[in-house]
Amino acid sequence: MTGALSPIEQTGFLAAGFGVEEHLHLLGLDLRAALDPVPPGLRLVRPMHRRRAQVLRVDGAAFPPFWRFDGPGLAEAIAATPHTRFRAAIDPADGQVAGYAICGRAGRRGFVQRLAVDPSRQRHGTGRRLLLDGLHWMRRHGVDKAVVNTQMGNHAALTLYRATGFTDEPVGLSVLSAGLS
């Protein structure tokens, strides 16, 4: 299984017998343009080790099996860029993680690497709060452009990203896979 690859990056894999597992939208946002302020809402914190199980529970509820993180997958996402902002939204009613975001930056490029909100707590602004928190962090650190990818059928995520100002990039991405024999 590969990570998300652009069409040019896919060439060698396709020639080696890999096939497309899933196509993804790729969206971009110019961070030099105006950004909405981070709206009020649940308290955002850096998840401590003791909250990793809650983060993984939210991830498992928010994504279909193919896209779910396990512990090593979460660690890989956190370490994927030289600089990372990992924040969780905590529901004060029960102290549980309601959602989380991993945003990264490398030079002047930013990445929304993961955004997940527990389905039972969606539609209350938590995803928007987490997303804008990460985008403002990127901007403060000199990032000019942020990108995010999401599955073709993830209409809730696409609606959020587009409402925040992201637009479709001319070329999408794909995840490839090959059977081992």
Q: What is the CATH number of the domain that holds 69?
A: 3.40.630.30
At 181 the pLDDT is 63
pLDDT for res 74? 96
Distance from C-alpha of 45 to C-alpha of 48, rounded to nearest angstrom: 9
Residues with Cβ within 8 Å of 134's Cβ and at least 6 positions away in sequence, in order, are 85, 87, 101, 103, 110, 112
Backbone angles phi, psi at 176, to 5 degrees: -110, 155
Expressed as residue numbers, the domain containing 172 is 4-177
Element (H, E) at 39: none
Q: In whole angstroms, give the CA distance from residue 34 to residue 43.
A: 24
Q: How many domains does the chain have?
A: 1
Asked whether the CA dihedral 41, 43, 44, 50 is positive or negative, the reply is negative
What's the rounded Cα separation, in Å, for the pair 115 and 91?
16
Residue 124 one-letter amino acid: H
Q: Which among 111, 117, 130 is positioned nearest to 31, based on CA atoms?
A: 111
Q: Tens of pLDDT along the chain (181 residues)?
A: 899 999 999 999 999 999 999 999 999 999 999 999 999 999 999 988 889 999 999 999 999 999 999 999 999 999 999 999 999 999 999 999 999 999 999 999 999 999 999 999 999 999 999 999 999 999 999 999 999 999 999 999 999 999 999 999 999 999 999 987 6
Across the chain, the runs of DSSP E, i.e. the strands, are 4-5, 19-30, 43-45, 83-90, 97-106, 109-117, 145-151, 167-168, 173-177
The pTM is what?
0.94
